[in-house]
Amino acid sequence: MNITSEKHLAATVITLCGELTADDADKFKRNIQEYSNNLESDIILDCTDLGLIDSVGLESLLWFSDELGRNGYKLKFASVSATVQRVFELTRLERVFNTHASIEEAARSLV
How is the beta sheet containing 98-100 ordered, strand by strand?
2-7, 11-20, 42-53, 75-78, 98-100
In this structure, the dihedral spanned by the alpha carbons of residues 31, 33, 37 and 39, taken in order and rounded to 10 degrees, is 70
Other Cβ atoms less than 10 A from the Cβ of 27: the count is: 14
Rounded to two decimals, what is the model's pTM? 0.91
Segment 19-39, tens digit of pLDDT: 999 999 999 999 888 877 777
How sure is the predictor about 109, in pLDDT bands with cuts at 50, 70 and 90? very high
| Whole-angstrom distance, CA of residue 82 vs CA of residue 52 | 11
Question: What domains, with CATH codes, occur in the chain?
Answer: 2-110 (3.30.750.24)
How remote is the C-alpha of 62 from its chain's centroid? 9
| Whole-angstrom distance, CA of residue 78 vs CA of residue 64 | 16
Segment 82-105, tens digit of pLDDT: 999 999 999 999 999 999 999 999
Maximum pairwise Cα distance, the chain: 35
